[in-house]
C-alpha cells in the first residue's frame, strides 16, 4: 500500500511539477522484473563480503569529486570513479544515531522511534547486521564515537564483535590487521566489517599540513574553535568569504585525514586478495550546516540540504561498472535493500516485508546494472525533533513547521529560525537560501499533501530512552548531543 501511495505521489509530482525525471515508473512490467530473481545478477557476480565505511558529519559537496576543494579527498574521489556514485543521496536527519539507525534498518526515524541520540533501537528492529548474521556472515564493527555505544544505543544488534575505539588511528590499524589476515579467509562464511569514523565532526581540529595547504594566506581574525563558531552563531556575525573559507579549511583538513584512513583500508583489502569479491559501500550519517543557515555551523538543529546531502558510493571491481554518476534522488533508506540484493541475501522488493511485518522503506539501487536500475521514487524526506518535516523533489524543497517550532540549537543556545512554511526552488537556489513559499501556492499544496500522506503511511515506532549514567550524559552534552524536543 505504502509503495503504491508513493508511486502515486511520484506520478502526481511528475505531472504537477514537471519534476521527477526517472522517478518511479508505476510500470507493472518493470515492477515484475524487479521481483524476478532472474533479472538480478547471478551468484557469480555477488559479493561474498561487505566493507561498509561511514563518516560522521561528512557533507557530500565538500568531497573533491562532488565539487569540493581540490585535493581534499583524493582516495575517496578514486573510489567514486571505481564504481557507482549516487550524487543526490539524503539522510533523514542531522543526528547520528537516528540516521545510522535508518541506514541499518531501511526505516525512517518516526518508525524506528529513534529521533534523538539519547534514545535506543528497539530489540525487534531487524538490522542489516542481523540479516547478514542470519545467513552466516561474520559481523564486526568498529565505531569511533560513544554516541553509538553498544547496549545503551542497541545499534550493535547482529554484530558478533562490536567495539568503540575513539582513537581513529588505532581503529584503522586494527581494521587493517583484520582486512589483511582474517577478512574473507573463511571459505564457509562471508565477512561484514563496518567502520564508523567520527571526524570531521566538531570541534574542527586543523589537521596539518592539510589545513595550511588548503588556506595558506589567511590573515583575518577568525579561527575554527568552538568559542569562535558559537560566538558567530549567537551574535549572528557576518563573515566575509575569506573568513568562512578559513574555517572550512579546518573542517576539510579533517576530511583529508579520513581520506588517508580510507586509502589504508582499501590497500589492506587489496593486499588480502579478496577485493574482487567484496562490496565496498561508503556513505555518511549526515552533513554539516557550515554557515549556510542562521549563521550555524553544526548539524543537530538543521534539516536543510547542508545536513542531509551525503555521499553514497558502491564498488565491487569487475561487477559494478566503473564511472557511474547517478543523479537520481535517493535516501539512506535505500542502502540496506541495495546491499542485501547485491549480496543475494534478500529478494524482497521494496515495500514487501520479509522481516516480521516491518517493510523496508528503501529501493534496491542496482549498482551492478544501470539498465535494470529504476530510479528511486524521486522524493527524499527529512525531519527534525518530530516537529518539523521536509520533502524534496529534484526541483523543490518544502519545509512544514506548523507549530513554529524553534530547535534548541546545540551546543549553545542561540536563534535557529525555521519558518512555519518554507519553499526553495532548487533549480535556481540549490543552497536553499530564498524562501519563496508565498509565490507557489500550488506547489506548496501538493507537497504538503505528499508530506501528510507519507507521515500517515509510516508505522509509528515507540521511543525508548537510553539508561545513561552521569558521565555519559556529560560526554553527550560536550558533544552537543543532549537535546530536547522543545
Residue numbers at the binding site for Zn ion (CB under 5 A): 56, 96, 285
- Give the nearest distance from C-beta 162 to Zn ion in angstroms: 18
Cβ proximity to Zn ion: between 93 and 423 the closer is: 93
Q: SS3 letters for the chain?
A: CHHHHHHHHHHHHHHHHCCCCCCCCCCHHHHHHHHCHHHCCCHHHCCCEEEEEEECCCCHHHCHHHCCCCCCCHHHHHHHHCCEEEEEEECCCCCHHHHHHHHHHCCCHHHHCCCCCCECCCCCCCCHHHHHHHCCCEEEEEECCHHHCCCCCCCCCCCCEEEECCCHHHHHHHHHHHHHHCCCCCCCCCEEEEEEECCCCCCCCCCCCHHHHHCCCCCCCCCCCHHHHHHHHHCCCCCCHHHHHHHHHHHHHHHHHHHHHHHHHHHHHHHHCCHHHEEEEEEECCCCCCCCECCECCCCCCCCHHHHEECEEEECCCCCCCCEEEEEEEEHHHHHHHHHHHHCCCCCCCCCCCCCCCCCCCCCCCCCCCCCCCCCCCCEEEEECCCEEEEECCCEEEEECCCCCCCCCCCCCCCCCCCCEEEEECCCCCCCCCCCHHHCHHHHHHHHHHHHHHHHHCCCCCCCECCCCHHHHHHHHHCCCCCCCC
Cβ proximity to Zn ion: between 194 and 222 the closer is: 194
Cβ proximity to Zn ion: between 96 and 157 the closer is: 96
- Give the nearest distance from C-beta 145 to Zn ion in angstroms: 8
Cβ proximity to Zn ion: between 96 and 294 the closer is: 96
Cβ proximity to Zn ion: between 96 and 283 the closer is: 96
Nearest residue to Zn ion, scored by beta-carbon proximity: 96
- Give the nearest distance from C-beta 286 to Zn ion in angstroms: 5
Cβ proximity to Zn ion: between 166 and 235 the closer is: 166
Cβ proximity to Zn ion: between 14 and 143 the closer is: 143
- Give the nearest distance from C-beta 206 to Zn ion in angstroms: 20
- Give the nearest distance from C-beta 239 to Zn ion in angstroms: 24
- Give the nearest distance from C-beta 300 to Zn ion in angstroms: 9
- Give the nearest distance from C-beta 463 to Zn ion in angstroms: 19
Cβ proximity to Zn ion: between 335 and 447 the closer is: 335
- Give the nearest distance from C-beta 96 to Zn ion in angstroms: 3
Cβ proximity to Zn ion: between 96 and 254 the closer is: 96
- Give the nearest distance from C-beta 95 to Zn ion in angstroms: 7
Amino acid at each position: 500500500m505504502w509503495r503504491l501511495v508513493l508511486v502515486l505521489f511520484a506520478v502526481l509530482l511528475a505531472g504537477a511539477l514537471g519534476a521527477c525525471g526517472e522517478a518511479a515508473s508505476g510500470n507493472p512490467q518493470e515492477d515484475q522484473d524487479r521481483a524476478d530473481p532472474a533479472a538480478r545478477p547471478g551468484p557469480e557476480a555477488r559479493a561474498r563480503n561487505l566493507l561498509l565505511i561511514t563518516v560522521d558529519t561528512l557533507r557530500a559537496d565538500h568531497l573533491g569529486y562532488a565539487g569540493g576543494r581540490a585535493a581534499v579527498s583524493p582516495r575517496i574521489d578514486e573510489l567514486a570513479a571505481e564504481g557507482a556514485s549516487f550524487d543526490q543521496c539524503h539522510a533523514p536527519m542531522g543526528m547520528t544515531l537516528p540516521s545510522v539507525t535508518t541506514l541499518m534498518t531501511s526505516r525512517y526515524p518516526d518508525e524506528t522511534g529513534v529521533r534523538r541520540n539519547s534514545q535506543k533501537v528497539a530489540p525487534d528492529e531487524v538490522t542489516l547486521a542481523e540479516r547478514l548474521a542470519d545467513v552466516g556472515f561474520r559481523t564486526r564493527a568498529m565505531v569511533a564515537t560513544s554516541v553509538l555505544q553498544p547496549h545503551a544505543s542497541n545499534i550493535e544488534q547482529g554484530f558478533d564483535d562490536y567495539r568503540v575505539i575513539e582513537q581513529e588511528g588505532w581503529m584503522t590499524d586494527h581494521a587493517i590487521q583484520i582486512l589483511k589476515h582474517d577478512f574473507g579467509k573463511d571459505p564457509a562464511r562471508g565477512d561484514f566489517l563496518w567502520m564508523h569514523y567520527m571526524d570531521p565532526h566538531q570541534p574542527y581540529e586543523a589537521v596539518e599540513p592539510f589545513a595550511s595547504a588548503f588556506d595558506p594566506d589567511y590573515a583575518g581574525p577568525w579561527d575554527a574553535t568552538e568559542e569562535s563558531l558559537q560566538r558567530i552563531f549567537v551574535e549572528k556575525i557576518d563573515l566575509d568569504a575569506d573568513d568562512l573559507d578559513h574555517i572550512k579549511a579546518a573542517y576539510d583538513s579533517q576530511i583529508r585525514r579520513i581520506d588517508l584512513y580510507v586509502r589504508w583500508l582499501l590497500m589492506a583489502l587489496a593486499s588480502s586478495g579478496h577485493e574482487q569479491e567484496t562490496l565496498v559501500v561508503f556513505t555518511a550519517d549526515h552533513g554539516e550546516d557550515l554557515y549556510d543557515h542562521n549563521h550555524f555551523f553544526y548539524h543537530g538543529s538543521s534539516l536543510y540540504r547542508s545536513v542531509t546531502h551525503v555521499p553514497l558510493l558502491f564498488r565491487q571491481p569487475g561487477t559494478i561498472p566503473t564511472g557511474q554518476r547517478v543523479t537520481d534522488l535517493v535516501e539512506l533508506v535505500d542502502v540496506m535493500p541495495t546491499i542485501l540484493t547485491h549480496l543475494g541475501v534478500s529478494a524482497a522488493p521494496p515495500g514487501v516485508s520479509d522481516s516480521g511485518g516491518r517493510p523496508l522503506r528503501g529501493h534496491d539501487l542496482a549498482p551492478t546494472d544501470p539498465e535494470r536500475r529504476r530510479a528511486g521514487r524521486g522524493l527524499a524526506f527529512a525531519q527534525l525533533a518530530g516537529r518539523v518535516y521536509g520533502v524534496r523533489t529534484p526541483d523543490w524543497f518544502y519545509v512544514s513547521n506548523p507549530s513554529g517550532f524553534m530547535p534548541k540549537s546545540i551546543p549553545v543556545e542561540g536563534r535557529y529560525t525555521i519558518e512555519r512554511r518554507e519553499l526553495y526552488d532548487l533549480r535556481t537556489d540549490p543552497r536553499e537560501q530564498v524562501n519563496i513559499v508565498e509565490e507557489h501556492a500550488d506547489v506548496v499544496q501538493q507537497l504538503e499533501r505528499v508530506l501528510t500522506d507519507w507521515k500517515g503511511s509510516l508505522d509509528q515506532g515507540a521511543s525508548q530512552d537510553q539508561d545513561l549514567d552521569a558521565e555519559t550524559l556529560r560526554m553527550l552534552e560536550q558533544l552537543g548531543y543532549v537535546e530536547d524536543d522543545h
